[in-house]
Structure formats: structure tokens, C-alpha cells
């Protein structure tokens, strides 16, 4: 039975997916490095996202795996097979493009069947496989329609169906949801992840959308200026960023200046807004100036100090109602500003613009960076 016939059998994750390995991959254009020294192992059946700002090298890395770009140095493996010099059509890799790239003169059925036709599958095999895969993406009744007769979300499902119909071990997705509205993006994120888990295919996904990466990925590879900055689970990257770039790029983070007042036994006492705050830290040097990051949701706001720990006064600059939480912009005495998210269910009181409030956050909620590298 085909692994695509998942709705009948609901098998455990299959061995369809293949591992992928980048070994010392670099790519230069006219002497300018777009990707530099990428070493990355992706497990079979893993959903890995390449995340980074524009120009970070994530799409170039994906295109080298697809075969549309050739590495300047290094090797790429799919399973045990080196594919660096193999043409794209011979790599047996599925690809979903940002633009969908559907054939406008072909029906949905014909678009999805196209990879099977190129592989010389019989008409009966094409019909059976296309029927199965259209069922997977919930487009079974629409096989006779043309792309122009479909919504954007339906067109994206057709592109996904075409990419998986020949059962590739690796599926590449380049910003596939960026053209859709928020509701459709959220819905298709869930659907793509469900399909990936059911099929067991290895997915390498490119996006600049942090929320999308956090929602869909088993692991995220954060890239910047052609290099990998950190690879890990969404929780690892969000809670334990290894450098200031990752802390600032993934999610939202307040960055504050501080000085290490003293160190000892793996703890640094930070001088922050005049208060001494203990923070777990390593390699800290007394007197050093550091950057401290703290997530907006970790900051407690109150009209007056109401618990143990270090407190700092601040003035409310702006307040915004966002449904389940309020967002405050606060100014510290030294002029620095903080963004704070406060859950309304836990703290229904609204602090007004111009009001003086008091802030506290636990030392373990802070990350300390010296020369851009985490020491906490």
C-alpha cells in the first residue's frame, strides 16, 4: 500500500524521509559570499526550517539542495547519496515554490499528475496516486478545475499535492504561505505539518516569519549573513539563544545595557537601573559592560512593589489593548524603553499613559551577552 493512502491505514511514521547533510557548503557570487561554511545534519522525517532576514542565505542554501544553485565549495548528501553534481530532475526531491508555479492550461488533476507522467507512470497509476494525494490535501472534488478557478489557499494545496505525489524522500518549501492572508496561513500551517507527520517525509522549509517557524518546526536553523547562528528546537532558541542576534530576531526581546558588579559560583550580580540583580552566568568579568535581554512577557508590572526581588520604577509611555493581553511601552529612569506584555486574565487593571509603575523580572528570565555571545 502506498504511504500516501494514510486516511485508510493511518500508519505510524514511515521510513519515507531521508536524512540530509550539508558538509562545508559555501556559495559566492563574484567574490561575495552568500553562504559561508554551512555544516548541517537534518534527520530523516524531520521538519527543519531555515529562518533568517532577507539576505541571510537561507533561500540560496535551499536552492543548492534543490540543485538550482551549485555550491562553490562543499558537498550535499541525501541519505548516503552525494547529490552536489546531480541535476535537479534526478534528485527525486519535491519542491513547493512561493509562486505555486502551477500550469494554467492544465486542470488540477493534470498539474498533480505531471511528475508521474514525467516518470513514465501508467495512466492507471497516475489516476490512483493523484486521487489519493488530492484526498490528503482535501481537494478530491476539484480535480477538473483550472488554477484560475481556485482560491490562493487551494492553489497552494495543489502545489503541495504535486510535490508529494511521487513520494519524494525530501520536500523543500520556499516561503510557500507568504502570499496568503493570516487565517489561511494559520490553517495551512497546521495542514502541512499534519501531512508531513503522516507521510514521514523530511521537510526543509524557508521562511522569514518567526511565528511560522515556531509553529511548524521540529528544529529551526537561524541564519544571518550567510552563516548559521544557532540550530535547535523552537523552545531552545526562544528560551536559550546563544547570541544577541538570535535573541533579538526570534520573537521579541528587550535589550538593556548593564554592568557586571561582581561574579562568583556561576552567578553574576548585574548593576541594572541602580539595582543589583543576580543572574546565572559563566565567564563574566567584574566591571564589564554587557547586554541583557528579557522577553516582554517575563516582566511584571505593578502600581507599587508587591514582592521580593529587585524593582525599578518606570513611566507608561503607551498602552495598547490586544485582546488577551495589554502591551505597554515603558520608559526607565535612564531613558531606555521596554516593551511589556501583560495577560489581562491575570492582571485586569489597566495602567494609564503617564502613570508611574514598578517593574520586576526574575534573574533566570534574563540572558546576558558579552560581545554578542551569551554568558548566561
pLDDT in tens, 334-365: 888 999 999 988 888 889 999 999 888 887 88
Which residues, including other chains, have CB under 8 Å from residue 149's CB and lie 6 or more apart? none
Q: Is residue 1, in this structure, part of any structural domain at all? A: no
- The answer on 158 and 137 residing in a single domain is yes
Torsion of CA 55, 61, 62, 63, to 10 degrees: 90
Can you give the residue range of the structural domain that contains 345?
252-374
Which residues, including other chains, have CB under 8 Å from residue 253's CB and lie 6 or more apart? 247, 293, 294, 295, 296
- When pLDDT is averaged across residues 133-150 and rounded to a whole number, the result is 93
- When pLDDT is averaged across residues 292-312 and rounded to a whole number, the result is 81
Compute CA distances 306 → 140, 319, 357, whole Å: 59, 21, 11
Query: Using CA atoms, how far apart are residues 45 and 199, in angstroms rounded to an integer?
Result: 8
Query: Using CA atoms, how far apart are residues 25 and 57, in angstroms rounded to an integer?
Result: 11
Query: Using CA atoms, how far apart are residues 286 and 268, in angstroms rounded to an integer?
Result: 8
Number of domains in the chain: 2
- The answer on 130 and 214 residing in a single domain is yes
- pLDDT tens for 235-269 read 999 999 999 999 999 989 999 888 888 888 878 88
- The answer on 195 and 118 residing in a single domain is yes
- The answer on 39 and 55 residing in a single domain is yes
Query: Using CA atoms, how far apart are residues 374 and 376, in angstroms rounded to an integer?
Result: 6
What does DSSP assign to residue 138?
T
- The answer on 261 and 241 residing in a single domain is no
Confidence of residue 309 (pLDDT cuts 50, 70, 90): low
Domain holding 266: CATH number?
A: 2.40.50.140
At 117 the pLDDT is: 93
Amino acid at each position: 500500500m502506498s504511504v500516501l493512502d494514510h486516511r485508510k491505514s493511518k500508519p505510524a511514521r514511515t521510513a519515507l524521509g531521508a536524512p540530509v547533510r550539508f558538509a562545508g557548503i559555501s556559495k559566492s557570487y563574484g567574490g561575495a559570499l552568500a553562504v559561508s561554511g554551512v555544516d548541517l545534519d537534518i534527520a530523516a522525517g524531520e521538519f527543519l526550517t531555515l529562518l533568517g532576514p532577507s539576505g541571510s542565505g537561507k533561500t540560496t542554501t535551499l536552492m543548492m539542495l534543490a540543485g538550482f544553485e551549485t555550491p562553490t565549495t562543499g558537498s550535499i548528501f541525501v541519505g548516503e547519496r552525494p547529490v552536489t553534481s546531480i541535476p535537479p530532475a534526478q534528485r527525486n526531491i519535491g519542491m513547493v515554490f512561493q509562486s505555486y508555479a502551477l500550469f494554467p492550461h492544465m486542470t488540477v488533476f493534470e498539474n498533480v499528475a505531471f511528475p508521474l507522467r514525467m516518470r513514465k507512470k501508467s495512466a492507471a497509476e497516475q489516476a490512483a496516486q493523484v486521487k489519493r494525494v488530492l484526498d490528503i490535501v482535501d481537494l478530491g472534488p476539484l480535480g477538473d478545475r483550472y488554477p484560475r478557478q481556485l482560491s490562493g489557499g487551494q492553489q497552494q494545496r495543489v502545489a503541495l499535492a504535486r510535490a508529494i505525489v511521487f513520494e519524494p524522500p525530501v520536500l523543500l518549501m520556499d516561503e510557500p504561505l507568504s502570499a496568503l492572508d493570516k487565517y489561511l496561513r494559520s490553517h495551512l500551517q497546521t495542514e502541512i505539518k499534519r501531512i508531513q507527520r503522516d507521510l514521514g517525509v523530511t521537510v526543509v522549509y524557508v521562511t522569514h516569519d518567526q511565528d511560522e517557524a515556531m509553529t511548524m518546526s521540529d528544529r529551526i536553523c537561524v541564519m544571518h549573513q550567510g552563516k548559521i547562528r544557532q540550530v535547535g528546537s523552537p523552545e531552545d532558541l526562544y528560551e536559550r539563544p546563544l547570541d544577541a542576534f538570535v535573541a533579538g530576531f526570534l520573537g521579541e526581546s528587550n535589550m538593556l545595557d548593564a554592568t557586571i558588579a561582581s561574579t562568583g559560583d556561576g552567578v553574576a550580580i548585574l548593576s541594572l537601573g541602580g539595582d543589583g540583580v543576580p543572574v546565572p552566568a559563566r565567564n563574566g568579568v567584574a566591571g564589564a559592560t554587557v547586554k541583557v535581554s528579557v522577553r516582554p512577557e517575563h516582566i511584571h508590572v505593578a502600581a507599587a512593589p508587591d514582592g521580593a526581588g529587585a524593582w525599578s520604577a518606570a513611566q507608561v509611555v503607551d498602552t495598547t489593548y490586544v485582546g488577551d493581553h495589554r502591551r505597554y511601552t515603558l520608559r526607565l529612569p535612564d531613558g531606555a524603553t521596554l516593551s511589556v506584555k501583560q495577560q489581562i486574565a491575570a492582571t485586569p487593571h489597566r495602567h494609564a499613559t503617564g502613570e508611574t509603575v514598578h517593574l520586576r523580572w526574575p534573574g533566570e528570565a534574563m540572558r546576558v551577552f558579552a560581545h554578542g555571545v551569551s554568558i548566561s
